[in-house]
Amino acid sequence: MNKDKLLTNIVVVNYNNWEDTIVCLNSILNTTNLSYRVIIVDNFSSDDSIDRIENWGYNRLNNSIDFHGDRKKMEFKTFEANNDEFVEEKFTHILVKSNRNGGFAYANNLGAYVSKLFNINNSYLWFLNNDTKINDRTLDALIDYFNSDNYGLIGSLILDYDKPHAIQAYCGNLNKWTANTKVITNQLSIKKTDHIYPVGASLFTTSEIYSTVGGMDESYFLYYEELDLSKKILSNGYKLGISIDSHVYHKQGATTKSKKNQKKTNLAMEGYKYRGLLRFYRKNYPKLTIISILNLFLKSFKRMMRLEFKHSFYILKQIFTSK
């Protein structure tokens, strides 16, 4: 099959953040590339996200799916779409409403599963954060780069949402001997490609490859799912890459409400990071698991030296209770 002719299924996950989601969706629908379908997965929002997105999508969404835990039984509700441009099934846009918040990996896997219901053949699969916007070349650049080599998973150049759109990240990097992760903002710093991974704000692959590696590991509720997915992609003989011509403008921390300048750290969000790190090492580097534990002990000690006792003890709790 000619990969240039594949449909792109774009999965956008929403959780209590309909404002950013709608901005993201508008930026997608304003692009000239028509060979795509948008699948919005609402991860059991507690606000009025569903009503807001359905109102926005009255002339754009063709189907709404109520998901109640069994992926083999889907309830469809057809929209009265007045805009003929979106009526054609090939370009059906879909809202999926989950009845539980199973985490970021769970929601993306649900979106990928729904994409197969509408497109049983191989397709491109693009996981795009809802707190982003794209330009007219973002998707085309991903497709061109993906087809240039034996890539299994690629990312975009992540830029700050607001002007002057400074570089937020080329990619992520893991030092497995220290268990430290960081984002690479200087292209010249990219050296050890086996530990470099695309940033989760924009992940591009095919449904065939995604199915082959088993999708994202849903035991990561939040954080580390893209690093784990990257490891699986590499172990299946594919390459990882970054399309620097594919620009994604990202509101860092908007989804988790954990921006750098926020004074009070959200312990629950941090907890996902700590447990995710332990999970990642136990799964991918079992003989080096002690490194991840020592990394968290060091973090706990630093918090204690700053008199942040609550946070320090919280980290220790994750070490001794995480499975």
Q: Which residue has the tokens 């599963």?
A: 113
> Is residue 224 within 8 Å of residue 133, measured between CB atoms?
no
Q: Which residues of the chain have pLDDT under 70?
A: 1-4, 59, 62, 65, 67-92, 188-194, 253-265
> Is residue 158 within 8 Å of residue 202, measured between CB atoms?
yes
Q: What is the DSSP string of 281-309?
A: HHHH-GGGHHHHHHHHHHHHHHHHHTT-H
* pLDDT for res 60: 73
Residues sharing a CB contact under 8 Å with residue 165, sequence separation 6 or more, in sequence order = 159, 247, 249
* pLDDT for res 87: 35
Q: Tell me which fold the domain 3-250 belongs to.
A: Spore Coat Polysaccharide Biosynthesis Protein SpsA; Chain A (3.90.550)
* pLDDT for res 58: 75
Triad 2, 124, 162: Cα angle to 5° = 130
pLDDT tens, position by position, 175-204 = 999 999 999 988 766 664 457 899 999 999
Q: Which amino acid is at 236?
A: N
* pLDDT for res 83: 37
Distance in Å from the first CA to the final CA of the chain? 42
> Is residue 75 within 8 Å of residue 49, measured between CB atoms?
no
* pLDDT for res 224: 95
Q: Which residue has the tokens 């499975």?
A: 323
39: nearest Cα among 18, 65, 58: 65
Query: Is it true that the peptide bond before 164 is cis, omega within 30 degrees of 0?
Result: yes
> Is residue 44 within 8 Å of residue 99, measured between CB atoms?
yes
* pLDDT for res 190: 67
Q: Which amino acid is at 31?
A: T
